[in-house]
Amino acid sequence: MGLLIKNGEIVTADSRYKADIYVEDETITRIGRGLEAPPGTEVIDATGKYVFPGFIDPHVHIYLPFMATFAKDTHETGSIAALIGGTTTYIEMCCPNRNDDALEGYQLWKGKAEGNSACDYTFHMSVTKFDDKTEGELREIVQDGITSFKIFLSYKNFFGVDDGEMYQTMKLAKELGVIVTAHCENAELVGRLQQSLLAEGKTGPEWHEPSRPESVEAEGTNRFATFLEATGATGYVVHLSCKPALEAALSAKARGVPIYIESVIPHFLLDKTYAERGGVEAMKYIMSPPLRDKRNQKALWDALAQGFIDTVGTDHCPFDTAQKRLGEGDFTKIPNGIPAIEDRVNLLYTYGVSRGHLDLHRFVDAASTKAAKLFGLFPRKGTIAVGSDADLVVYDPSYRGVISAKTQHVNNDYNGFEGFEIDGRPSVVTVRGKVQVRDGKFVGEKGRGKLLKREPIYF
């Protein structure tokens, strides 16, 4: 049975027009005015609404053993939350520990998602060590359609790589047409600063940011860019949070280094004063890189509006208040993460487009199209065109609401954006032609999501 979305205003990264969209099976087959549909077609009236391509979150953690515990979502809860918020595809970080085998890790992560996600998904494969065996396994994983790597310059004891391993990872990525994504903070410096703060009795959550200052992120970003330059690999900085790191990345870009930038929604809207409230209220706002001084937010919004920041993701990573309390008396033990998978699109629309910081096309580009292009999903995902997957978000800009943990679908007992107003939300969300969400409710089929096989890209 077909699906017809009538009278909406289609908005992509580069076009805006009124037309109907006809979907057969999983694919958009016609776009035009006054389309007729055979009897039995499901018709959705999108009068007064935008129709956006399904949004893509390029950076989430669903299954994640980390900091003596596990992130709280499953693919069932995480994907339903994503879909309600308009995200129809997410890219999860597959993060085996340094001591674990890469291929076994990949199979484990893949197994957690298979048959459980209601939206489509793929992975960035973390390279957490580099030796001959790992290299062979990485080649196999790329063959399976995973054409992006992730490296951590931080988290030395969990996933972090040293500079030599970063170099080898980039050489392999260059050969295979794989983009290297990176968490850029200087691990050694963070470790030393943490130890000296603790030794001075500075143990509360307000010391998390001073243990990972802006300069530490700028150094990591600059080092990552330097290694890209030397190896010729293409890179993508994840969750860039501050002006000095932005300057480091942009100065590399200006000299021709192929480097792309992601920032995540918490850094646009929350600042370090949230982590200075004391006790568990502060611990809820611990993530890395940390929430920063508020002056950075303008730099991020401006860079996003101008296209210097390419994508907006979440770094979704839920830990509940009981887990956050693992760091009572020692800020280095607070599980890092602020969940946002459900709220990213509505927050970016509200505080970007609706409140005048962001052009509507740049919004679609940053929240969907650019990620599709960078990660080998375009034009299957990230646009509205004949032949593309029918991942569509009928968006109601007249909706008014307030974010609250009481109404969220993420598996967590708080929401870092509690009380934030939203000026719009998806009224219908489809994944490959099937209606999965209507007006804030999941009405679809659990476990329908597919692992997306991606092709290498030689940038």
CB 240 within 8 A of CB 252: no
Helix (H, G, I), strand (E, B) or coil at 189: helix
315 sits near ligand DUC (criterion: CB under 6 A):
yes
359 sits near Zn ion (criterion: CB under 5 A):
yes
What region does 270 belong to: left with phi over 0, alpha with psi -120 to 50, or beta? beta
Q: Take residue 82 and report the two structure tokens written for it.
A: 């994503």
C-alpha dihedral, 210 to 198 to 265 to 294, nearest 10°: -30
Q: Take residue 193 and report the two structure tokens written for it.
A: 């600063």
Instruction: Give least dist CB 132 to Zn ion, A.
Output: 27
Residues 273-332 that bind Zn ion (CB under 5 A): 315
126 sits near ligand DUC (criterion: CB under 6 A):
no
Q: Which of 72, 150, 183, 370 binds ligand DUC (CB under 6 A)?
A: 183
- The binder of 287, among ligand DUC, Zn ion, none, by C-beta within 5 to 8 A per type, is ligand DUC
Residues 200-229 that bind ligand DUC (CB under 6 A): none
Give the type of residue at 234: T
Q: Take residue 426 and report the two structure tokens written for it.
A: 């998806």
Continuous segment of H or E residues that includes residue 223: helix 214-231
Cα 387 versus chain centre, distance: 25
- The binder of 359, among ligand DUC, Zn ion, none, by C-beta within 5 to 8 A per type, is Zn ion
Instruction: Give least dist CB 155 to ligand DUC, A.
Output: 7
**Closest CB to ligand DUC: residue number:** 287
217 sits near Zn ion (criterion: CB under 5 A):
no
Our CB check for ligand DUC shows the closer of 150 and 434 to be: 150
Q: Take residue 67 and report the two structure tokens written for it.
A: 């900091």
Our CB check for ligand DUC shows the closer of 54 and 289 to be: 289
Cα 103 versus chain centre, distance: 23
Give the type of residue at 125: M
State the Cα–Cα distance between residues 233 and 226, nearest whole angstrom: 11
Q: Is 125 exposed, middle or buried, given 0-12, 13-18 or 19+ CB atoms closer than 10 A? A: buried
**How many chain residues interact with ligand DUC (CB under 6 A)?**
8
C-alpha atoms less than 13 angstroms from C-alpha of 67 in its C-beta half-sphere: 22
What mask of x and - would describe binding to ligand DUC in positions 337 to 366, judged by CB under 6 A? x-----------------------------
Instruction: Give least dist CB 338 to ligand DUC, A.
Output: 7
Helix axes 132-143, 102-113, angle to 10 degrees: 30
Residues 38-77 that bind ligand DUC (CB under 6 A): 61
**Cβ neighbour number for residue 363 with a 10 Å cutoff:** 24
317 sits near ligand DUC (criterion: CB under 6 A):
yes
Our CB check for ligand DUC shows the closer of 72 and 381 to be: 72
What mask of x and - would describe binding to ligand DUC in positions 367 to 406, judged by CB under 6 A? ----------------------------------------
361 sits near Zn ion (criterion: CB under 5 A):
yes
272 sits near ligand DUC (criterion: CB under 6 A):
no
Our CB check for Zn ion shows the closer of 22 and 149 to be: 149
Whether omega before 53 lies within 30 degrees of 0, making that bond cis, reads no
Our CB check for ligand DUC shows the closer of 61 and 432 to be: 61
Chain residues that interact with ligand DUC, rule: CB under 6 A: 61, 183, 287-288, 315, 317, 336-337
Chain residues that interact with Zn ion, rule: CB under 5 A: 183, 315, 359, 361
